[in-house]
Structure 1
């Protein structure tokens, strides 16, 4: 199956035998090509594999379109596509915070799927993907931020898994110094996603919420970011850069941070659950040496894990919406979610899979993930609707200015409060 960069494609109908149809008498049918925009096309992206399975089962063809690793860049790409009403892409992976933003361009899957299609899924995820009573996407896998750590190095140097951000800072400083003295000059205490993009919104929301600083905007749509706890959280994160985190962290996304940690050059890592399987895979420098825990908290807060995940949606401009919806239903069905969980350690959106023996055997840490999912913190997408992208953009850019030393936390949250209040008067 081809994996191509994003481009305009012409997809004429072609005549072929439907798989399975030969046994009924070799009846020929028209087989359409469905284009699906999957993930970045790297080793973590299981979408192409499942899309190919569907093609082999149905006799239809699938063109897989790889998209940028950065969620912000991926959103921009999809918006360009949808705003032009292009029929080039039929199915697309969308972030958990995009349904409200993209809803007008997406079909109501209720019109194409069976009545019980959503049975067994986490209700909160179905609710998240329902806009004005229209089911605009099916949840595929879900996420919550986690702390990965080198358990071998904590044991070696006599430290516990940190419960607070200050404990993380102190432990990272001590073990970083010891490992460098032992000869690893490339060793760092902590890596996180510090690039100015949606991933930084996730990290910074965890910092702020875990300090008791709120969730940027509350459920009623009131802007709450200008408070001392939020400012302190951002200032503490800024103190890591150049100290326990490399300067390059200001341009790191998920995969850059995983690379540093998996190569054995970091003590702590903030990332999503998918890292567990990759970091423990054959050839990994840290296989069998790592642990997973809830993220730390500030002096006045509780642990907070930003909820994430991806769903599959069908474009309103698709020329084959029923086939596209069938592909969505196949990929998100229980057997395929179970396969995804076992092979890639992605977290299912069907609740019963968290008690499935084979899933638990393949990834015992899924229990920890489930706890974080239940106690996670959502980004303020529901309260801000179509304006969420602008809210997030303002938040991660303000955070990035603090991390890079351009601004203090107090000034940043004060300015951000004013900007978001102006946006609120116009947009929600």
Structure 2
């Protein structure tokens, strides 16, 4: 079994013990590289060699399943997990781990883009959290955004972070990058207008600093928890960081849905991890049994209470212990209902690289969003043909 890069060692030890006792099997846990891309490449090397030494592995559920499933590297799980088994699992993750209508993993870690805002500042001005980008811009200006207090701290440096945030602008404007038939749509008017809104935050509205094109996820989080930003869009981990010792915004943070444009509902980028089985495994039955234990309610609660891992079972979001730490639990459920994945294609890595480069040229003012959309489309069409 190979795990993902998380600092939850003691909780994981208890989890493995539970799996061993429940199923009368022995777990040999191998810690994965801390960098997701390094971990991915290690898995690819192993799978390409049909190496069966690892049975179960922790899979990035939002981008890897199509690549791994298309190559025949992961075992379809449909015959092992019934509709009843999956009833409590979030639909967004069932879809994320599916490829060509086959299930290739069971999610265990919830993560999704969400709006964090300075509740104290909004409350003092009698403002409700913004639901559209136009509202966010207006509120940021009303609350006095300046060089010392960013209206919107964004993580738009070159990497997956800028793709994740671009997805929210495009789908929040009823656009798409690829449609359900894998046809390129990023040069459509709705998609281009989504990128235009993103660019305008920097170039026109001046509520997102141009420096955001150099900020990674952790940078935007730090700026926000230091009290130097009014709004930020980031992952689930920011909530705990905002309440931790050293934060300058303890008790003053609210959580809401990612702002949208003309789409009927908010579109937050889906993140998260899950357990998949190596197609070369010689221990399929034991692997299935292990995953069923790993993703059982009691084990997910263990990982939440002792490891801080947010679960993917709907019922646990109503658990009193969970709500105590995440009083916005219902908001988290609302967010996941509208969550969207990055392009689900076996060649996603190449697609992502193109989107990163071209979208940043637009954000930096080097080309128009329309030209960037056209250039992205021209480059990714051969990849998805």
| Superposition TM-score tier, normalisation by shorter sequence | 0.7 to 0.9
Count of paired positions: 374
CA apart distance, 1:149: 0.3
Task: Say if 2:138 is the partner of 1:170.
Answer: yes
2:218 matches 1:258: no
Provide the secondary structure at the position in 1 that maps to 2:155. coil
Note the alpha carbon deviations across 1:364-399, whole angstroms, 9 max, x for none.
Answer: 211011111122233331xxx323333333223321
Who wins on radius of gyration, i.e. which is larger?
1
Cα distance, 1:413 vs. partner?
0.7
Task: Give the SS at the match of 1:168.
Answer: helix
For 1:203 and 1:277, how far apart are their aligned partners in 2? 21
Q: Which runs of 5 or more residues in structure 1 are unaligned?
A: 1-34
Q: 2:328 aligns with which of 365, 370, 388?
A: 365
- Rounded to whole Å, the distance in 2 between the matches of 1:191 and 1:283 is 19
Q: Is residue 342–residue 362 contact of structure 1 (8 Å, CA) maintained in 2?
A: no
Q: Does 1:411 align with 2:374?
A: no
Q: Pick one of 313, 317, 325 that aligns with 1:354.
A: 317
TM-score by length of 1: 0.76
Which whole-Å CA distance do the structure 2 matches of 1:341 and 1:251 have between them?
A: 32
Alpha-carbon distance in 2 for matches of 1:273, 1:157: 26
CA distance in 1, matches of 2:299, 2:81: 17
Larger displacement relative to structure 2 (147-156 or 397-406): 397-406
Partner of residue 380 from structure 2, selected from 406, 414, 420: 420
Alpha-carbon offset, residue 164 of structure 1:
2.0
Given candidates 200, 203, 223, the residue that maps to 2:165 is 203
Displacement, 1:145? 1.7
Do structure 1's residue 233 and structure 2's residue 194 form an aligned pair?
yes
Question: 1:13-162, aligned counterparts within 5 Å?
Answer: 35-39=1-5, 41-42=6-7, 46=8, 48-57=9-18, 58=20, 60-68=27-35, 71-72=36-37, 74-86=39-51, 89-96=54-61, 97-103=63-69, 104-109=72-77, 118=86, 120-123=88-91, 125-131=93-99, 135-157=103-125, 159-162=127-130
Measured in 1, the distance between the counterparts of 2:183 and 2:293 equals 40
Structure 1 residue ranges (4+ consecutive) displaced by more than 6 angstroms after TM superposition: 110-116
- State the match for 2:23 in structure 1: none
Contact 1:347–1:366, Cα closer than 8 Å, also in 2: no
What's the offset of the Cα at 1:332?
2.0
Higher relative contact order (CA 8 A, sep 6+): 2
On the 8 A contact 1:86/1:317 being kept in 2, the answer is yes
Indicate how the Cα distance of structure 1 residues 220 and 107 shifts in structure 2: closer, same or farther if over 3 A, else same.
closer
1:142-161 per-residue CA deviation (whole Å, 9 max, x = no partner) reads: 33321000111223455442
Mapped partners of 1:283, 1:397: distance in 2: 35
CA RMSD of aligned residues (A): 3.2
CA distance in 2, matches of 1:64, 1:37: 6
More strand by share: 1
Kept after mapping to 1: 8 A contact 2:92/2:339: no
Question: Which one of 351, 375, 378 corresponds to residue 391 of structure 1?
Answer: 351
SS at match of 2:322: helix
State how far apart, in whole Å, the 1-side matches of 2:12 and 2:297 are: 15
Question: Please, which runs of 5 or more residues in structure 2 have no aligned partner?
Answer: 21-25
The verdict on how the C-alpha distance between 1:125 and 1:161 changes in structure 2, with shifts beyond 3 A counting, is closer
